[in-house]
Amino acid sequence: MAWAQGGGQAGSAVPAGPGPQSWDSVFRLAARLRKLGQDGLDPAAYAVPPDAQGASEPAVFHTAVYQAANAALGDLVLGRLRQPSGRADILRDPSTDFTRWQAELVGLPEPATLIDRAANVPEGAAAIRSELAKAAGLVASGGWTTIPVGEGTLDPGMTDAARIPALRARLKAEDPVLAAARDGGALYDAPLEAAVRRWQAASGLEADGRVGAISLGLLNRPASSRVAQLRVALDMRRNALKPGEERRIEVNIPDYVLLVQEGDRVLMRMNVVVGKPARATPTLRARLTTVQFNPTWGVPERNAREDLLPRYRRDPAGMAAKGFRLYSVVGGERVEVDPATVDWSAVRTDRFPYLIRQDAGDENALGRIKFIMPNSDDIYLHDTPDRRLFGRPDRAFSSGCIRLGLPDDLLLLVMEGMGWDMARAQRVYDSKQTQSVGLRRPLPVRLHYTTVTTEGARVKMRPDIYGLDAAYAREMDRGGLRVATAGAAR
């Protein structure tokens, strides 16, 4: 069949005359566009015309297919969301020349192969697309079994005729090892326990085999939420600006991990504690400029009202013993107040009239060291006297700042070449005096929110603790049609 005349337009790749493509290749391109769901995009957003139109209105069909392909290719190469709302951690590469892709779309004998190639450009795309296909298949088959909410935690060795068969069915949907094991019925047997532990470890939970409220809540999330996370993971990676070789700090908030990297090389890895959902750690980019030994803590107003006021009501003398100082502002001057003289029962949460500062020392909430990276959210990295949380797999417990599992290791790394060693740092710690030291080489810091990571063919997913993936997916879907109906202008 002869090549249909197209109605190409400025900014889109629509052949206007005979080209190297066969007519069949245009149908194959349309068929590939209808499968964009496997790439995390909604085919309906691109107005792919039905094949029947190819016979009745060949010129309109041809133009519409290429308009759809041009729009889909743009989203695959540049990202469906060019700049997601509120995501300082995501930067697209401005140097990408999309016109080269458009030229290939017009010139290739088999343009559907270009869609395939673009879909696999992002790092880890093949593994994520494979996981997406499994998750989408689960959704198409009705999702997974919902586990009834019952009394108490499910522990290995228990029998529960309602919940344990449902738990087994739920995990079989994702775990081929359990699916191949003997069915233990209502007994929480060893194969089921092993499957629960595998699922908990993969979900960032304590892998203890006990299914309590937290595990149950995550298990009962709809399969569609998994699809949404994987769609977002693909889009986040599209045209992502790659870091250079400069040494940098990367904190993955939902994975609770800090890395120090140079290029792709990891110099340091440590567990961190991030903000609880009600006080979420923001995504941001900054530069680490200063290290402060023996920091004091100027307590933010929200922490003072919500966290410290109840403690003052219980034990004002104990708060003073922990180094907390109370101030009122009189005539523009700060005046220290003895907490024992305050009627704490009369102090209102919504009108907290005091400033609070905690002295440097062993009890200080920031520990012995604070890493300052100026930013509008006043977020920083710091030590902590409470080391218990770093052994937990779920570590969203702070008020927004990043608590470090290995603060001294980071100290020595960022002060490399400045004449500092642990003995010198210890002398400053022992002095109990606050001391700030500027870094000779400030380091870029990125706090990012990446729930899906890949290692080869393995995909690791973490819970969407702040709901940012869900918000991103909604924004992707709100984008609507990328092209108008066939034959109309975009």
Q: Which residues are catalytic?
A: 382, 401
Which residues, in sequence order, are CB contacts of 11 under 8 Å at separation 6+?
A: none
How many degrees, rounded to 5, is the angle at CA 365 between CA 362 and CA 370? 90
Give the whole-angstrom CA distance, residue 14 versus residue 17.
9
Long-range residue pairs from 44-52, CB within 8 A, at least 24 positions apart, any chain: 45/71, 45/479, 45/480, 45/481, 45/482, 46/71, 46/72, 46/481, 46/482, 46/483, 47/481, 47/482, 47/483, 47/484, 47/485, 47/486, 49/486, 51/27
Do residues 66 and 12 touch, judged by C-beta distance below 8 A?
A: yes
Structure tokens at 215: 């595990």
Decide the pairing of beta strands 381-382 and 247-252: unpaired
Nearest Cα to 101, choosing from 124, 122, 80, 78?
78
Do residues 287 and 445 touch, judged by C-beta distance below 8 A?
A: yes
Which residues, in sequence order, are CB contacts of 466 under 8 Å at separation 6+?
A: 253, 254, 277, 280, 449
Helical axes 223-237 vs 468-478, angle rounded to 10°: 80
Q: What is the DSSP letter of 5?
A: P
Structure tokens at 388: 């218990």
- Which secondary-structure segment (H or E) carries 334? strand 333-337
Which residue has tokens 């989203």?
75
Longest dimension (CA), the chain: 93
Spell out where 156-283 has E strands: 247-252, 257-262, 265-275
Secondary structure class of 486 (helix, strand, coil): coil
- Report the 10 Å Cβ neighbour count for 34: 15
Do residues 287 and 371 touch, judged by C-beta distance below 8 A?
A: no
On the 0-12 / 13-18 / 19+ scale of CB atoms within 10 A, 322 is middle
In the chain, the amino acid numbered 446 is: R
